[in-house]
Amino acid sequence: MIPHVPSRLDHNRRVNNPPSQPNLGSLQPRFFPNTRRARCLRLLVSGLVLTLIVVGCSEVTLRDEAARTDSSMLEAASDATASLPATAQSTTALPPTTTPAETTTSTQAPSTTSQPIIDRPIPETQTDLVAALTKAEEAIRNPSIDNAEASQWGQRQQRLYRVLAENPDWGDAVIAAVGEDARFGVQQNWAARQALSSLVKSTKLAETLPAWQLREPLPVEELMTYYREAEAQTGVPWNYLAAINLVETRMGRIEGFSTAGATGPMQFLPSTWADCCEGDPTIDRDAIIGAGVYLVRVGGADDIEKALYRYNNSDRYVNAVTAYAEVMADNELAYRGYHAWQVYFLSAAGLIRMPADYYQPEPIPVQEWLATHPDALLVPSD
């Protein structure tokens, strides 16, 4: 059995010099079967060297404190405490589709079922969660499944990790029991969620909902084109750019109204953008390329994790982005699942599912907003 990279939840960033990515000009699915083995060999070597000294707090970052708080609340909501009803709506209307049964393998053709993927029951036992996670991870990576169906599997995948977050003691056992093809993804996704959840636990939960407008993300293929274009121009691997996009704004779903704080799908401060980049930071293509330019400027060509720390000076953030990026490097089709992840917000009132038409030009007290959107509160605070 091929060994798997352990979770990175320590607060020291190890040296990470990822190999150059292959040319990803084609939009057809590709696999990198040797990536995981090579990464494991690098890990054995890196264990013999000293970890990097933490970059000083005087370093320029892209995000102000308020923006960081919003981002951490967003991500940790995916880990938040309770199984959620299987009725959350996608921001994109998907056509009816045939779906693989949860007992089939990823290489088998889908079988017809009358129950939509996103409406399947939430597992209540560890055994059921193992089976469901294995199926979701394998389906997302199945090249015979189109992007629309993969999107539904991605939404289910997101919910399944919330079940694991509700039962954190299951973590090691679930990772050990899932299918071998799914294990690396499950392990890294769980590590990322634990890192970002701990970031939220260190922050006071918000009494207000943010000044946001939600929108549908650009299609999978279009965003992938921009990640690859940015990689070609800057040398920053596309999967790191996609992972930043995921953690910051759920692939661009979130548009903020602040004129002073971080802005756009990659969350640039206006002053930082003016200093390093060209174009408009609120336009996906410009922002993604700009993120690559910035990461190179702060040393990403030599040490991508150090550059990520300059992007957002939190070791937990670096660990999470790196974990998601490594999942996509292991199999680029994993990106399709992340693209489907929805927006949840962990507030002082509890876990809120943000509707696709959410629009607030100014921050609004949570309780005031919930008075007219009571169904959005999924898990009230204790």
In a domain, residue 211? The reply is no
Q: Which of 155, 209, 101 is nearest to 341 (CA)?
A: 155
Confidence of residue 258 (pLDDT cuts 50, 70, 90): low
- Name the β-bridge partners of 209: 364
In a domain, residue 193? The reply is yes
Range in 109-113, 177-181, 202-206 with the lowest mean pLDDT: 109-113
DSSP letters of 186-204? HHHHHHHHHHHHHHHHTSP
Q: Which of 248, 271, 274, 249 is nearest to 261 (CA)?
A: 271
- Return the SS3 of 126: helix
On average, the pLDDT of the chain sits at: 77
Cα 161 to Cα 168: distance, rounded to the nearest angstrom: 10
User: What percentage of the chain has pLDDT greater than the value 70?
Assistant: 69
**Which pLDDT does position 381 carry in this prediction?**
87
pLDDT digits 0-9 by tens, 261-302: 889 999 999 999 999 999 999 999 999 999 999 999 999 999
In a domain, residue 23? The reply is no
Are the C-beta atoms of residues 327 and 321 closer than 8 Å to each other?
no
**Which pLDDT does position 379 carry in this prediction?**
87
In a domain, residue 160? The reply is yes
Long-range own/partner contacts, residues 323-326 (CB < 8 A, 24 or more apart): 323/7, 323/8, 323/188, 323/189, 323/191, 323/192, 323/195, 324/188, 324/189, 324/192, 324/239, 324/242, 324/243, 324/246, 324/247, 325/237, 325/239, 325/240, 325/242, 325/243, 326/5, 326/39, 326/188, 326/239
Q: Burial letters for 238-255: b for 16+ Cβ neighbours within 10 Å, e otherwise?
A: bbbbbbbbbbbbbbbbbb
pLDDT digits 0-9 by tens, 67-90: 433 444 554 444 332 222 222 333
Q: Burial letters for 271-292: b for 16+ Cβ neighbours within 10 Å, e otherwise?
A: ebbeebbeeebbebbbbbbbbb
Are the C-beta atoms of residues 344 and 78 closer than 8 Å to each other?
yes
In a domain, residue 271? The reply is no
Distances (CA, A) of 99 to 130, 144, 181, 311: 18, 11, 19, 39
pLDDT digits 0-9 by tens, 125-151: 999 999 999 999 999 999 999 999 999
**Max CA-CA distance within the chain?**
57
- Exposed (0-12), middle (13-18) or buried (19+): which is 44, by Cβ within 10 Å? exposed
Cα 179 to Cα 225: distance, rounded to the nearest angstrom: 31
What total number of domains does the chain contain? 1
Q: Which of 138, 150, 144 is nearest to 105 (CA)?
A: 138
Confidence of residue 203 (pLDDT cuts 50, 70, 90): confident
In a domain, residue 297? The reply is no
pTM: 0.74
- Return the SS3 of 215: coil
| Contact partners, residue 274, CB within 8 Å, separation at least 6 | none
* Mean pLDDT value of segment 114-122: 85
In a domain, residue 118? The reply is yes
Cα 278 to Cα 356: distance, rounded to the nearest angstrom: 30
pLDDT digits 0-9 by tens, 333-374: 999 999 999 999 989 999 999 999 999 999 999 999 999 999
Cα 74 to Cα 78: distance, rounded to the nearest angstrom: 7
In a domain, residue 151? The reply is yes
CA dihedral 361, 365, 366, 368 (to 10 degrees): -100
Range of the domain at 133: 78-205+373-380
Specify the higher pLDDT residue, 117 or 96: 117
Confidence of residue 58 (pLDDT cuts 50, 70, 90): very low
Can you read off the two tokens belonging to residue 34? 């040797």
Are the C-beta atoms of residues 211 and 258 closer than 8 Å to each other?
yes
